């Protein structure tokens, strides 16, 4: 039922003027103008009523909410040990560039090459520049030989396959990292993926002039013994020179935890976010994800 604030409750039938005994062009014009304004009110009220029946999160995903963008970030670590590490495919702690600069793309397999390769041919790299503004570019692969980006990245957020050969995806492991690769493997890795065809890193940095509102966090642990466990955390760092602090923590065995927030967790611009895990034994598989909405301003 509409409330007093609903747009439908503000639509009131107009008072139409009494018509003259003889035809008057001025009267007809005024009459039509009153009806036009009235029907415009009805059209607007109907549009608002329909929009309000569509859930907010669906309208954001459809790109129908100005200044709002949906975010879903996920990661997987196949070998979490007894020292805390980031939930990402490389294992160990995630590495951040010390300053904005070009990054280098390569593969461990020579078949990941543009035009003729049976593996990955082109990929997209997404990240942030020195001002924490979002940037991206498409890269044509050259097997184990590194290809340098044209843009300078302070943060790497994601990379994924755009086109591939007969394999339908990567032949080897695709790396985003520093220069000086050996057999396609760079000295420092910022992101990587294999046959998943997309990076799996539960890591994110909020772009400039945006706030991320996290609605839900999820972790899954595969622990072989019921006497062992993994401690999983969401950590944030609002300044690159500061330490990470824990914002969420749970203990898992072989199970999943999904934590929806009744009141979203607000993460300000330029904040680094990581999902991390530590286990009581070695060689444990942990996955993590978080989702929410980026709001401008």
Tell me the per-residue pLDDT of 124-140, one tens digit each, with 9 for 90 and over.
Answer: 999 999 999 999 999 99
How do residues 87-134 score in pLDDT, each as one tens digit? 999 999 999 999 999 999 999 999 999 999 999 999 999 999 999 999
More confident residue, 12 or 178: 178
Could you tell me the two tokens for 164?
């591939």
End-to-end CA distance of the chain: 34
- 3-class DSSP assignment, residue 57: helix
Say if residue 51's pLDDT is above 90: no
Does residue 53 register a pLDDT over 90? no
pLDDT tens column, 243-259: 999 999 999 988 999 99
**DSSP secondary structure, 49-78, as one string:** HHHHHS-HHHHHHTT-STTEEEEEEEEEEE
pLDDT given at position 295: 97
What domains, with CATH codes, occur in the chain?
59-91+202-296 (2.60.120), 104-193 (no CATH)
Which CA distances in Å does 6 have to 37, 40, 48?
A: 18, 16, 9
Q: How many residues does the chain have?
A: 297
Ranges of beta strands (E only) in 81-209 are 85-86, 104-107, 120-128, 134-140, 147-148, 155-164, 174-177, 189-193, 203-205
Q: How far is 89 from 255, CA to CA, in rounded Å?
A: 20
Give the tens place of pLDDT for each residue, 218-241.
999 988 777 899 999 999 999 888
Bridging pattern class, strands 245-252 and 230-237: antiparallel
């Amino acid at each position: 039922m509409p409330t007093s604030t609903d747009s439908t409750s503000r639509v009131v039938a107009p008072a139409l003027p009494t018509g003259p005994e003889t035809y008057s062009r001025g009267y007809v014009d005024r009459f039509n103008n009153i009806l036009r304004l009235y029907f415009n009110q009805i059209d607007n009220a109907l549009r608002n009523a329909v929009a309000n029946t569509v859930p907010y999160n669906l309208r954001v995903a459809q790109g129908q909410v100005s200044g709002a963008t949906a975010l879903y970030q996920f990661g997987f670590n196949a070998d979490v040990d007894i020292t805390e590490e980031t939930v990402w495919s490389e294992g160990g702690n995630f590495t951040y560039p010390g300053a904005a600069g070009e990054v280098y793309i390569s593969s461990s397999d020579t078949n990941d090459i543009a035009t003729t390769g049976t593996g990955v041919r082109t990929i997209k790299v997404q990240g942030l520049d020195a001002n924490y503004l979002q940037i991206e570019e498409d890269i044509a692969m050259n097997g184990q030989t590194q290809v340098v980006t044209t843009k300078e990245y302070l943060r790497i957020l994601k990379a994924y396959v755009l086109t591939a050969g007969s394999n339908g995806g990567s032949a080897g492991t695709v790396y985003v990292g520093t220069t000086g690769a050996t057999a396609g493997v760079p000295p420092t890795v910022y992101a990587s993926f294999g046959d998943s065809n997309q990076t799996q890193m539960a890591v994110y940095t909020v772009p400039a002039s945006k706030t991320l509102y996290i609605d839900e966090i999820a972790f899954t642990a595969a622990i072989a013994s019921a006497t062992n466990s993994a401690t999983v955390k969401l950590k944030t760092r609002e300044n690159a020179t500061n330490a990470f602090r824990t914002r969420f923590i749970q203990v898992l065995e072989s199970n999943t935890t999904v934590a929806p927030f009744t009141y979203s967790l607000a993460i300000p611009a330029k904040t680094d976010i990581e999902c991390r895990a530590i286990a009581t034994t070695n060689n444990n598989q942990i996955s993590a994800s978080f989702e929410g909405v980026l709001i401008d301003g």
